Structure 1
Amino acid sequence: MAIQVLSFFTGAGLLDLGMHQAGFDVVWRNEYHIPFVKGFKHGFAKMHDACIDDFPVCTSSIEDLTPYSIRQEAFSSKIWPDLFGVIGGPPCPDFSVAGTNKGSFGDNGKLTGLYFDQIVGLQPTFFIFENVKGILSNLKHREYLTEQIHKVSKDYVFDIKIMNSLDVGVAQDRERVIVVAFHKSYLHDVINADDLKELESRNRLLLSKLLHPNSYKKHNWFTWPTINKFENAKSNFEWPTTNPFGAEEITRPKNLPLELCVGNYLENLEHLDNQNEFFTPKSDKFFLVEEGDVSRKSFKRLHRWRYSPTAAYGNNEVHLHPMLPRRISVREAMRIQTIPDNFSLPREMTLSNKFKTIGNGVPVKLANHIAQEIYRFFDCPTYALGN
């Protein structure tokens, strides 16, 4: 039987999709923003050729949820299963370098604390926490994250890593902090006592080192997903810079993997839903910005033979198409986020909400690779301990 998962801050369900592809069963979802709920339901119904009512979502605020109410909604037997997980990426603008930088005092920032409170109450077998790099790179935010991990350190062993989606084959420079944790009561039954003590020792070191940037990395123990040919892709390949806009042919450098080039994902889209949906403001800049010029805050133009900057869209600021005088379409943004082509968003959903929910999500391919490693851990708990 598939391991059941509870999903917080579901959005369009991109993290859920990655978990599902790896064999997990997401049985309960919580999303407060109604337009995102409608987008999620429509997308999953289209994928499964089902009715939107087959994908219920709890729309209560996370502040109003209790372990008892979640159990009543999530599990048909009304009792906790032997194994289950919790996943979530709380909204991150308050920790983002380009965001408000309010940290734990912001309306979004405090949601990270509430997420960890739910972990304490629910006591899942494992959990995943995902957020922007800024939650570790900024001292004030790092202190806040350390406080949250302290909340659960009595019951869990955890590992933490800054992952770039590029390194697992996503054509996007997207660095995110990922925390993966397993409950000690589960590990007590499946690994020997010495290994558990070793993990607890590493966790004490991790907690003490979190306040010192980059010094915690050597204490990792979980087998984080890597794909050798993509590892450190941003620095290991010679990427093209800029070319005049409108150039008909630009030869792809031979050493660049096609999987990491945006141009690979902008073909054969005409028959897909959401392809003809894009912002169409009029500006001379659509013709003047060079292909690959991402130096400015706005009007960043993608390069067909390079990866995309982070897909973080908002306020109509969506990246420009490499070869056409317009912004990329909803479908093109989905492709960059590795969302399956049979997933679509409803016609009546506003463009702003479509781009926002796409940009908020974890690339499906990255989510799937992390989920696969967690699945392997449950299949063979000792395989990760030799790192």
Structure 2
Amino acid sequence: MKDTRKSISLFSGAMGLDLGLQQAGIDIQIGQDFNTACVNTMQANGHKALLGDICKIEPEELLSAAGLTFGEPFLICGGPPCQPFSTAGKRLGINDPRGSLFREYVRMIDVIRPRFFIMENVKGLMSSPLKDENGKNTDGKVLDIILEEFSRLNYKTVYGVLDSVNYGVPQFRERFVMIGSRDNEDIFLPIPTHFQMHQDPSYRWATLNDCIKDLEDFPGDCADFSPARLKFLKMIPEGGNWRSLPPEIRKEAMGGAYESGGGKVGFYRRLSYSQPSPTVVTSPIQKATMMCHPTKDRPLSVAEYARIQQFPDDWKFTGTLIDKYRQIGNAVPVGLAKAIGQALVATAENNAIIQVKRIRGTAIHEKIQEAIRLGGNAYVDTDSPEQFL
């Protein structure tokens, strides 16, 4: 069979994952989503998309739309809806109806048999407890079930939590990523390429100044803070939050949240140009996760959101203002996706490692070798780039 990189995307959203994979040389033939605004966005940017509930889509229909046959796709990629696995809320995990969409993802891989798969999700999936039929925690984890399912399909897997900032994205954004190989190939998670400290500026973490400064006076579509919230935000310096307010008015500003626990770092948060962005959320105006511009008294605009997630400036987002923020906030950053794609392509081409007769027996080389050796059902903590130093 001819070896191609023609691939299928599921739960595609605004195509952040797909765009990065395409930049790595992977050809996404078709996307799929249940949300009409997402499908309209894909089509508005010239991409083929299938609208529908994945539970009602047959693998044959997906393959036909992609112009592919069983076993031919290079990759199936996607992130089954992540709310059940979030660290917030009840975390019903695999027993949540949305969590069960993971089963549909497995069904597609089982029948279509791509050479590789990529599954991404929130980092909370790593610790999400498995519930019994009464909704009570068991000794198991959702991750155990996921690993069992892919093992049953005879896919070799590697997984871990990746922080986007370590791959050139101007944003702290941790995502669970799992890569699977049908043919038992030497898959690996992408090695970090950017660091907090580096002698070459091009390898340092990217900041908000690097990506949105030029949009400061030309924001385009933008939400608004309520007058009540704006009253307090105007008092917050760049890089500050509610703790920057005078002590005597903090309780008034915070309301009932003032007595609650936790750091509450997102309340009245004004971002800093000199740092990467916090994780872009689905709305920049929510009280607990405000995304206020570093110097302007407004939230980040749609265009600024898109820049932080590394969408091309000419990428069209369809739907209402709420739809646009949500599509961007739910996306995988393009730079992280590209790094994942490059790791897959290097595996497919069998050129990820420079083979040498010996490695010097120093601690630094031993750390690198250990990172390379971690495979199979291994957890690689690439959120700690120092392990590669």
TM category (shorter chain) comes to 0.7 to 0.9
Number of aligned residue pairs: give it.
Answer: 317
How many percent of aligned residue pairs carry the same amino acid?
Answer: 27
- 1:334 is aligned, of 306, 310, 333, to 306
Provide closer, same or farther for how the CA distance between residues 315 and 302 of structure 1 changes in structure 2, counting only shifts above 3 A: closer
Using the TM superposition, give the Cα deviation of residue 10 of structure 1 relative to its aligned residue in structure 2, in angstroms. Answer: 0.6
What is the TM-score with the length of structure 1 in the denominator? Answer: 0.74
Using the TM superposition, give the Cα deviation of residue 90 of structure 1 relative to its aligned residue in structure 2, in angstroms. Answer: 1.4
1:234-245 alignment, distance < 5 Å: none
Please name the residue that 2:117 is paired with.
Answer: 127
The answer to whether the 8 Å contact 1:129/1:180 transfers is yes
Residue 8 (str. 1) matches residue 15 (str. 2): no
- The one-letter amino acid paired with 1:354 is K
- 2:56 is aligned, of 51, 59, 64, to 64
- Over aligned residue pairs, what C-alpha RMSD do you find? 2.8
1:139-288 alignment, distance < 5 Å: 139-140=129-130, 143-154=141-152, 155-184=154-183, 187=184, 222-227=188-193, 229-230=194-195, 233=196, 259-269=205-215, 275-280=219-224, 281-282=226-227, 283-288=230-235
- 2:335 is aligned, of 365, 370, 376, to 365
1:305-384 alignment, distance < 5 Å: 305-314=274-283, 316-317=285-286, 318-346=290-318, 349-380=319-350, 383=353
Larger mean Cα displacement after TM superposition, 332-341 or 144-153:
144-153
- The one-letter amino acid paired with 1:265 is C
The whole-number CA distance in structure 2 between the counterparts of 1:143 and 1:321 is: 39
Provide closer, same or farther for how the CA distance between residues 288 and 113 of structure 1 changes in structure 2, counting only shifts above 3 A: farther
Partner secondary structure for residue 158 of structure 1: strand
Using the TM superposition, give the Cα deviation of residue 321 of structure 1 relative to its aligned residue in structure 2, in angstroms. Answer: 0.2
- 1:116 is aligned, of 91, 106, 131, to 106
Provide closer, same or farther for how the CA distance between residues 223 and 11 of structure 1 changes in structure 2, counting only shifts above 3 A: closer
The whole-number CA distance in structure 1 between the counterparts of 2:272 and 2:352 is: 43
Residue 94 (str. 1) matches residue 84 (str. 2): yes
The whole-number CA distance in structure 2 between the counterparts of 1:315 and 1:290 is: 18
Residues 166-212 of structure 1: CA distance to partner in whole angstroms, max 9, x if unpaired?
A: 1112121111110001103xx4xxx7xxxxxxx7xxxxxxxxxxxxx
The whole-number CA distance in structure 1 between the counterparts of 2:211 and 2:298 is: 16
The whole-number CA distance in structure 2 between the counterparts of 1:315 and 1:292 is: 15
Larger mean Cα displacement after TM superposition, 254-263 or 374-383:
254-263
Using the TM superposition, give the Cα deviation of residue 267 of structure 1 relative to its aligned residue in structure 2, in angstroms. Answer: 2.3
The whole-number CA distance in structure 1 between the counterparts of 2:15 and 2:59 is: 22
Structure 2 residue runs of 5 or longer lacking an equivalent are 132-139, 242-263, 355-368, 374-389
Partner secondary structure for residue 304 of structure 2: helix
Residues 285-344 of structure 1: CA distance to partner in whole angstroms, max 9, x if unpaired?
A: 230233213543443221111111111223843510010000000010111111121213
- The one-letter amino acid paired with 2:214 is N
Partner secondary structure for residue 114 of structure 1: helix
- The one-letter amino acid paired with 1:157 is K
The answer to whether the 8 Å contact 1:5/1:85 transfers is yes
Using the TM superposition, give the Cα deviation of residue 107 of structure 1 relative to its aligned residue in structure 2, in angstroms. Answer: 3.4
Structure 1 residue runs of 5 or longer lacking an equivalent are 46-54, 192-198, 200-220, 238-253
The whole-number CA distance in structure 1 between the counterparts of 2:267 and 2:80 is: 25
The answer to whether the 8 Å contact 2:83/2:98 transfers is yes
The answer to whether the 8 Å contact 1:172/1:307 transfers is yes
Provide closer, same or farther for how the CA distance between residues 81 and 108 of structure 1 changes in structure 2, counting only shifts above 3 A: closer
- 1:304 is aligned, of 273, 285, 288, to 273
- The one-letter amino acid paired with 2:220 is N
